[in-house]
Amino acid sequence: MSKKDSSRKELRKKKSGKGKKEKRFRKKEIARMVQSIFEESPDAIYNYRQISELIGAKNDPLKMMVVAVLRDLAADGFISELDRGRYRLNIMNSIAVGIFNRRSNGKNSFTPEDGGAPIFIAERNSGHAMDGDKVKVQLFARRRKAEPEGEVIEILESRDRTFVGKLQVAKGFAFLVTESKTLANDIFIPKDKLKGGKDGDKAVVRIIEWPEDAKNPLGEVIDVLGHAGENNAEMHAILAEFGLPYSYPENVERAAKRIPETITPEEIANRDDFREVTTFTIDPRDAKDFDDALSARRLENGNWEVGVHIADVTYYVHPDTVIDKEAYSRATSIYLVDRTIPMLPERLCNQICSLRPHEEKLCYSVIFELDANADIRSSHICHTVIKSDRRFTYEEAQEVIETGEGDFKEELLALNELAKKLRDKRFENGAINFDRTEVRFEIDEKGHPLNVFFKESKEANKLIEEFMLLANRTVAEYIGRSGHANSSKTFVYRIHDLPDPEKMENFAAFIRRLGYKLKTVGSKNEISKGINSLLSTVRGKPEENLIETVAIRSMQKARYSTENIGHYGLAFLYYTHFTSPIRRYPDMMVHRLLDRYLNGGRSVLKSKYEDFCDHCSDMEQVAANAERASIKYKQVEFMSDKLGQVFDGVISGVTEWGLYVELNENKCEGMVPIRDLDDDFYEFDEKNYCLIGRRRKRQYRLGDPVTIQVAQTNLERKQLDFKLVR
C-alpha cells in the first residue's frame, strides 16, 4: 500500500469520530499527511482541491481544514505560496553537506560539516546511507515547534561498511544478525559469499550493495572468527566491532624479522654507557614488553643519580617504513581482559626493544641528579646503552620496600623515598589524586572468568609512576619552556584542559546530596586541593568508586596536541609522553622530534603534526572503548551462572531507560530497566541524576544503595539485567 493510500485509509477511519477533541486530532493528522505529500514531491505545486483529493477529504468541513493547514504550513515556512492558493515545498537554501549518523532505533541524524546542530533524518529519508558516510542532504523547511529534518539526496563518500555479528545460515542463503547500534537491518548474504562460514559462527561482513527497493543490505563474509561463545571468537569480534586489528600483517612481521638484534661497537661508542650501573625493571607479572628501566647510584656528594631509561624504538623503526606505517595506523597497543594486541610486531616489542635482564639494550634516557629532598640539581637527555640486572614484578619490589630486605634493597628504598617526595610536591602544586579501583579477572585456559579481583596501586607502582612523570615533564620542558631557544619548535604535548565549570557545579550539587562539599570557585590549586580532600574523605567508603567516577566525568579528557595548554590533572605546565614508545605512537614521535632538535634541526610543520596528534587521540579512545567492551563481556560471562542470586550495590547511572547498578562485591554493572519499575510511572530528572515517581514521588538517585537480583544475562549484547529487591 502506498503512503498516499495509507493516508486516505487513516483519514476515513477517523471520519466517524465526534467531539472537539477528535476535530483537533483530525487536523493534526491532516497536517501530517499534507506534509508527507509535499516531501514526496518537492517540485510539485498543489492547491487545496488537489490536496483534498489526494487525502480523500470530500466534505466541506474537511476541505476548510485543508485550507487552514496549508496556511499554517506557509506561515511556518514549510511551504511557499507561489501565487494565490498554489503551494510548493520551500526548498530555498536547503542543501547541506556533512556526516550521516545511523542508529538502529531509527533516530538517524546528520551533522553539517560547517559545525551546525545535528538534524533529524527519518529512516524513510535516509536513502540507505550508512553511519559515518559523507552525504548531501535536502533540508526541509522547519515546522513550528518541531525539530529540523532533512532527506539524504546523495552519498558523497562511503565509510568502510563492515559489521560483526552471528551467521544464520539457511539452505540457499544466510543472514548476519548484528547487535550494532548503527544498523537495525540484518545483512543478507548469498551462499557463494559465505567464505566457509557456518550457522552460529561469528563473522565480519562487508556490505557490498543496498538496492534502493530492498529492505536488507547485501553483504559478503570477509572473515570467519569462530563459533559464537568461544573466547577467541568473542575477543576478535570486539576488536573487529571497533575497527581494530586482531592479527598482524605478514609483510610487517617479515620486515621485523630482518632487523638485526646485535648492537655494533660503533653504536655503543656513540652512547653514554650505563651497563655497569645498577639497573632494573619493575612491571606487572604478565608483562613481556619492558619499555622502561631505572638505574640508581649514589654520588660522592651524597646525592642520587637516577636514570630513566626508555627503549630506543626509533633506532630500529624508521619513518615511512611498513613497520612505522602499521604502528601509526594502530597508534597504541590494546589491552583486552585476556590478551595484548601490540602496536609493534612481537619481535620488536617482546625481544629486540624489550629491556630484558642481562641483555645489552639501546635506550633514550633522562638522567637526573636528585638531592635528599628530591630537588633536581641537574638533568640531561641522552642516548644510552644499558644492561638490566634484575626484572622485578611489582609484588617483588613491594616486598623489598615493605621488609627492607632483598635484591638491590639500597637502591629500591632510596628510589622509593625520592618518589614519595616527588609525589608530595605534585599534590602540593595542585595535582589531583585519582586512585580508582581497577577490576581484573582470573581466567582459565579457555578464557572463562573464574574470579574477580581488584588491582591495588602500592608504593612500587607509585615509584615507577613518579619517575615516568618526571621524565615526561622534563622532556616537555626542554622543548617548550618559556625563554628556551627551542620554545618555538613544534612538539607533541599531552594536554589536559581545565574542568568545565558547569560540569563541576553539577558534580558539587551531586555530592552535596551525599553529604559532601566541594569548592568550585577559586584558583586552580584551590579547586584541585578541594577535589583531593573529597577523594581522601570518601576513600574506603561504599560510595568511593561512584564519586571518583562522577569526578572523572566532570573533567576534560587528556589528549595529544601541538598547542601546549599544560596538564591540569597533573598540575604540570609542560607534559608529554616519552616513556612508552613500544606501546604508544606519540612517544615515538617525541623521540624523533627530540633527535631532530638536539641535532639542531628546524621545526617540523605544525599542522601536519596536529593531524598526527588528532589521529593518536582518536585511536586511544577507540582502544579504551574496546578494552571496556571486553571487561563488560567478561562481567556478563562471570555473572551468567548467578541468575536469581541477590547482591547489594549502588546506583551508578541514571537514564531515561533505567538505572545502572554497580555491585559492591565484584564491581559488575547491570541495568534495572525502567519498565520493571512498575509501582509508579517514573520520569527522568537529568539535572538531579534521578528517576522520580509521578504519583508517589519515590526517587532513585545516583549513589543510592540498592539490593538487586540477577534477572538476565545476554552475552551477545554484553548486557546484564537486574531486578530490584524491594
Lowest mean pLDDT among 161-165, 181-185, 669-673: 181-185
pTM (2 d.p.)? 0.81
Q: For residues 274-286, give the mean pLDDT.
A: 95
| Res 156 pLDDT > 80 | yes
Please report the pLDDT score of residue 563 as a whole number.
95
pLDDT bin (cut points 50, 70, 90) of residue 143 is low
If we measure between CA atoms, which residue out of 258, 480, 267 comes closest to residue 363? 267
If we measure between CA atoms, which residue out of 162, 107, 158 comes closest to residue 135? 158
Lowest mean pLDDT among 383-387, 481-485, 621-625: 481-485
- Give the largest Cα separation in the chain, rounded: 106
Q: For residues 521-549, give the mean pLDDT.
A: 81
Cα–Cα distance, 577 to 568 (Å, whole number):
15
Cell 577523594 sits on residue: 535
Q: Classify the C-alpha dihedral 6-11-14-16 as positive or negative.
A: negative
pLDDT bin (cut points 50, 70, 90) of residue 174 is very high
Please report the pLDDT score of residue 119 as a whole number.
85
Please report the pLDDT score of residue 11 as a whole number.
41
| Res 117 pLDDT > 80 | no
Q: For residues 213-230, give the mean pLDDT.
A: 91
Lowest mean pLDDT among 29-43, 187-201, 688-702: 29-43
Give the Cβ contact number of residue 171 at 10 Å: 6
Over residues 301-359, the pLDDT tens digits come to 999 999 999 999 999 999 999 999 999 999 999 999 989 999 999 999 999 999 999 99
Please report the pLDDT score of residue 521 as a whole number.
77
Lowest mean pLDDT among 283-292, 294-303, 509-518: 509-518
If we measure between CA atoms, which residue out of 143, 146, 150 comes closest to residue 75? 143
Cα–Cα distance, 229 to 201 (Å, whole number):
9
| Res 559 pLDDT > 70 | yes
Cα–Cα distance, 397 to 13 (Å, whole number):
79
Is residue 364 within 8 A of residue 275, CB to CB? The reply is no
Beta-strand runs (E) in 371-437: 376-387, 390-393
Cα–Cα distance, 235 to 229 (Å, whole number):
10
| Res 7 pLDDT > 60 | no
Please report the pLDDT score of residue 689 as a whole number.
76
pLDDT bin (cut points 50, 70, 90) of residue 14 is very low
Over residues 638-669, the pLDDT tens digits come to 999 999 999 999 888 898 889 999 998 898 99
Q: For residues 668-687, give the mean pLDDT.
A: 89
DSSP code at position 458: -
Instruction: State the cell numbers at 466.
Output: 613518579
484 or 452, which is more confident? 452
Q: Identify the helix (H) or strand (E) that includes residue 161.
A: none
Over residues 685-725, the pLDDT tens digits come to 877 778 999 998 899 988 888 999 999 999 888 899 999 99
Cα–Cα distance, 82 to 418 (Å, whole number):
81
Give the Cβ contact number of residue 698 at 10 Å: 13
Cα–Cα distance, 462 to 466 (Å, whole number):
6
CA-based end-to-end distance of the chain: 49
Q: For residues 203-229, give the mean pLDDT.
A: 90
Mean pLDDT of the residues in the chain:
88
| Res 62 pLDDT > 90 | no
Give the CA angle between residues 617, 362, 623 to the nearest 5°.
20
Cα–Cα distance, 274 to 294 (Å, whole number):
11
Please report the pLDDT score of residue 1 as a whole number.
44
39 or 300, which is more confident? 300
Give the CA angle between residues 291, 296, 297 to the nearest 5°.
155
pLDDT bin (cut points 50, 70, 90) of residue 233 is very high
| Res 12 pLDDT > 50 | no
| Res 93 pLDDT > 60 | no
Please report the pLDDT score of residue 484 as a whole number.
53
Please report the pLDDT score of residue 625 as a whole number.
94
Please report the pLDDT score of residue 146 as a whole number.
64
DSSP code at position 671: E
Q: For residues 245-262, give the mean pLDDT.
A: 94
Give the Cβ contact number of residue 280 at 10 Å: 22
pLDDT bin (cut points 50, 70, 90) of residue 23 is very low
Please report the pLDDT score of residue 607 as a whole number.
95
| Res 116 pLDDT > 90 | no
pLDDT bin (cut points 50, 70, 90) of residue 145 is low
DSSP code at position 675: G
If we measure between CA atoms, which residue out of 367, 359, 353, 251 comes closest to residue 304? 367
Instruction: State the cell numbers at 246.
Output: 586482531
The share of the chain scoring above pLDDT 90, in percent, equals 54
The share of the chain scoring above pLDDT 70, in percent, equals 93
| Res 473 pLDDT > 90 | yes
Please report the pLDDT score of residue 144 as a whole number.
56
Instruction: State the cell numbers at 528.
Output: 584541585
